[in-house]
């Protein structure tokens, strides 16, 4: 299995609080992605990174920010959590040619916003 | 813009019978295409990928898919279903710059004994 870990694996938080999810890889892959998975929607891209300090928005980026200060770590922050952000969040990595290569996925983080 | 349509949200087959999961995409270029599988409460695993080489792609666990440009389809098949194939399957397409991926909404495969 690709070396991808996500932390925390489960989190319950209250509306309005900030939340940070961490993705850590040991593969030295260039591309990293954050998705959310909701029933009936498949996975939707939130943000992605194509290198250290290089990030771009995905299709559902409102309310989320990311940072990548090291190759191995990609952080997703919910600045002020809302109930609509209750979801399962997956991190993925991909090698140097981005979407020509397959992605490898982390185990997911289940976030509940009450 | 790219989009992916998985034509069936649920498919139910009997063990030992063929599996067909349908995927259509819209794109103005020749994309990379992928199928992933997700077993309950698990992460996603790559089944197979198409990246402009052979149009018939073989993957793991006996799955294969055929890229048909004229029909903009990339259907997933398996000759004989096994109970362990019960899972959710996602068809995925790359964007024009090969930076991002777009997922279909998923097909849940049920395999009956």
**Which residue, B85, B84, B94, is CA-closest to B20?**
B85
Nearest CA in chain A to B95: A99
**Record: contact B34-A45, CB cut-off 8 A:** no
pLDDT for position A99: 58
Question: Would residue A51 be called left, alpha or beta, if left means φ above 0 and alpha means ψ between -120 and 50 degrees?
Answer: left
Query: Pick the residue with more confidence: B32 or B5?
Result: B5
Q: What is the pLDDT of residues B42-83, one digit of tens each?
A: 889 999 999 777 889 999 999 999 999 889 999 999 999 999
Closest CA to B36 of B98, B109, B95: B109
Contact yes or no for B88/B105 (Cβ under 8 A): no
CB contact under 8 A, B9 and A44: no
The answer to whether the CB atoms of B99 and A31 lie below 8 A apart is yes
Confidence class for position B1, pLDDT limits 50, 70, 90: low
Instruction: Write out pLDDT tens, residues A56-77.
Output: 999 999 999 999 999 999 999 9
Q: Could you tell me if A55 and A30 are in contact, meaning their C-beta atoms sit under 8 angstroms apart? A: no
In chain B, pLDDT over 70 holds for what percent of residues?
Answer: 98
Of the partner residues B43, B94, B95, the one whose CB lies closest to the CB of residue A90 = B43
State how far the alpha carbon of A97 is from the alpha carbons of A26, A93, B100, in Å.
18, 11, 11
CA dihedral over B26, B32, B37, B43, signed as positive or negative: negative
Strand pairing report for A109-113 and A87-94: antiparallel
Q: Is B105 on the interface with A (CB under 8 A)?
A: yes
| pLDDT band for position A1 (cuts 50, 70, 90) | low
Where are any strands of DSSP class E within A52-86? 54-57, 64-70, 73-78
Looking at the complex, report in whole angstroms how far the Cα of residue B72 sits from the nearest Cα belonging to chain A.
18
If contacts are CB pairs under 8 Å, which of residues 5-34 in chain A contact chain B? 31, 33
Closest Cα partner for A50 from B99, B36, B101, B31? B99
What one-character DSSP code corresponds to residue A83?
A: G
**Residue A97: what pLDDT?**
66
Give the distance from residue B94's alpha carbon to the nearest chain A alpha carbon, in angstroms: 5
**Res B95 pLDDT > 90:** no
User: Residues 59-88, chain B: which have Cβ within 8 Å of A?
Assistant: none
Chain B environment of A43 (Cβ under 8 Å): 44, 90, 103
Q: Reduce the DSSP state of residue A99 to 3 states and report it.
A: helix
What is the pLDDT, as a whole number, of residue B27? 79
């Amino acid at each position: 299995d690709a070396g991808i870990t996500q932390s925390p694996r489960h989190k319950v938080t209250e509306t309005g609080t900030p939340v940070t999810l961490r993705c850590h890889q040991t593969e030295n892959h260039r591309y990293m992605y954050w998705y959310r998975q909701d029933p009936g929607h498949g996975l939707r891209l939130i943000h992605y990174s194509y290198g250290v300090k290089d990030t771009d928005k995905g299709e559902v980026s409102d309310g989320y920010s990311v940072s990548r200060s090291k190759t191995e770590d990609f952080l997703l922050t919910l600045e002020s959590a809302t109930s609509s952000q209750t979801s399962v969040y997956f991190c993925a990595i991909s090698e140097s040619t981005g979407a020509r290569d397959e992605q490898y996925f982390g185990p997911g983080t289940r976030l509940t916003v009450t | 813009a790219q989009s992916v349509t998985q034509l069936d949200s649920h498919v139910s087959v009997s063990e030992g019978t063929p599996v067909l999961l349908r995927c259509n995409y819209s794109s103005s270029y020749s994309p990379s295409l992928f199928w992933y599988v997700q077993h309950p409460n698990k992460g996603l695993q790559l089944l197979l990928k198409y990246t402009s080489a052979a149009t018939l792609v073989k993957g793991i666990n006996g799955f294969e898919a055929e890229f048909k440009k004229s029909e903009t389809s990339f259907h997933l098949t398996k000759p004989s279903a096994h109970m362990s194939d019960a899972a959710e399957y996602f068809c995925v397409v790359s964007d024009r710059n090969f930076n991002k991926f777009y997922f279909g909404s998923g097909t849940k495969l049920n395999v009956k004994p």
